[in-house]
């Protein structure tokens, strides 16, 4: 039996709380609300023009989804970026995303998937040619491809979990790309479309598995890079503190240039 209170179940027309939740979720995914940032209900009401009850209900939903947390006497806080959180996203995608290979699409939605794939491929080619502004739109089409498949899963709860995992993955990608030097490559979905067209379900499942592994490789490398950078910064700060506390002695000219003795 489904939990009707679950934030992962699809809903109809968005209500005021859903709209507020989506706005805050987007702000967290995009980095406008930074990892670990403390949230004030009053400031959110003022900045987004929302009522206190709506904001609180939206934050409760986001807490269920793992984007914010609440602590007694400390208020709300954006969930930090952590290796543990990344591991949960990787494991969740590895387990659930390959299930999309078994989805049966009606003819009109299969045509839509082919169109999205063609548009994505064109943008990917433009990005390869050095047009970086195309990458955001290409990723949007890629997300639409996944969402189209998820809407035809026979388990709505799993579809909701996948949507949540993709949102978290997008957040990690954005954070790691902003803080590091690596970019996650765009995926060519034509192989998946061809596998579905020819009813090669196992090939489609292998494609989705590789998509998950590509994300895992990128994110793990990004974390390693950020850890190395953090160590270098900490080391520089440590050396600066030591030098400030124990400055090198100032040598006289005779000490700095000692005469040779026979």
Closest of 181, 165, 163 to residue 228, by C-alpha: 181
Q: Which whole number is the average pLDDT over 132-152?
A: 90
Instruction: Kindly report the three-state secondary structure assignment for every residue of 107-174.
Output: HHHHHHHHHHHHHHHHHHHHHHCCCHHHHHHHHHHHHHHHHHHHCCCCCHHHHHHHHHHHHHHHHHHH
**Regarding predicted confidence, which is higher, 173 or 246?**
173
Q: Quick: pLDDT tens for 75-110.
A: 899 999 999 999 999 999 999 999 999 999 999 999
Which tokens belong to 237?
């700060």
Strand partners, 75: 71
DSSP 31: T
Q: Which whole number is the average pLDDT over 32-58?
A: 94
Whether 260 shows a pLDDT value over 60: the answer reads no
The structural domains of the chain, ordered by start, are 16-78 (1.10.10.10), 83-218 (1.20.120.530)
Q: Which whole number is the average pLDDT over 245-252?
A: 53
- Cα 189 to Cα 210: distance, rounded to the nearest angstrom: 11
* Residue 125 neighbours by CB under 8 Å, 6+ apart: none
* Residue 169 neighbours by CB under 8 Å, 6+ apart: 89, 93, 215
As a 3-state breakdown, the chain gives helix, strand, coil percent values, each rounded to 5, of 70, 5, 30
- pLDDT score recorded for residue 124: 80
Q: Which whole number is the average pLDDT over 131-136?
A: 72
Whether 212 shows a pLDDT value over 70: the answer reads yes
% of the chain with per-residue pLDDT over 90: 63
Q: Which whole number is the average pLDDT over 235-246?
A: 50
Strand partners, 68: 78
**Regarding predicted confidence, which is higher, 161 or 251?**
161
Q: Is the distance from CB of 200 to CB of 215 less than 8 angstroms? A: no
First-to-last C-alpha distance (Å) of the chain: 96
- pLDDT score recorded for residue 258: 54
Strand partners, 38: 77
Q: Which whole number is the average pLDDT over 178-201?
A: 91
């Amino acid at each position: 039996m489904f939990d009707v209170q679950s934030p992962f179940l699809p809903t109809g027309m968005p209500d005021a709380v859903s709209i507020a939740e989506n706005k805050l979720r987007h702000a967290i995914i995009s980095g406008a609300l930074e990892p670990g940032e403390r949230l004030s209900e009053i400031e959110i009401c003022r900045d987004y023009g929302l009522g206190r009850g709506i904001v609180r209900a939206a934050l409760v939903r986001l807490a269920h989804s793992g984007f914010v947390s609440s602590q007694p006497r400390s208020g709300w806080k954006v969930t930090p970026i952590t290796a543990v959180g990344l591991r949960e996203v990787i494991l969740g995608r590895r387990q659930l995303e390959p299930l999309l290979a078994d989805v049966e699409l009606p003819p009109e939605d299969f045509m839509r998937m082919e169109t999205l794939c063609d548009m994505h491929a064109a943008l990917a080619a433009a990005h390869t040619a050095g047009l970086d502004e195309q990458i955001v739109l290409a990723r949007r089409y890629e997300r639409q491809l996944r969402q189209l498949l998820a809407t035809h899963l026979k388990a709505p709860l799993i579809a909701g979990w996948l949507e949540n995992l993709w949102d978290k993955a997008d957040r990690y990608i954005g954070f790691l790309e902003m803080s590091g030097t690596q970019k996650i490559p765009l995926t060519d979905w034509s192989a998946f479309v061809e596998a579905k067209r020819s009813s090669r379900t196992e090939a489609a499942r292998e494609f989705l598995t590789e998509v998950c592994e590509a994300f895992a490789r990128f994110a793990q490398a990004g974390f390693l890079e950020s850890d190395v950078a953090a160590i270098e910064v900490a080391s520089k700060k440590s050396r600066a503190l030591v030098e400030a506390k124990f400055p090198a002695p100032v040598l006289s000219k005779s000490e700095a240039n000692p005469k040779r003795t026979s």
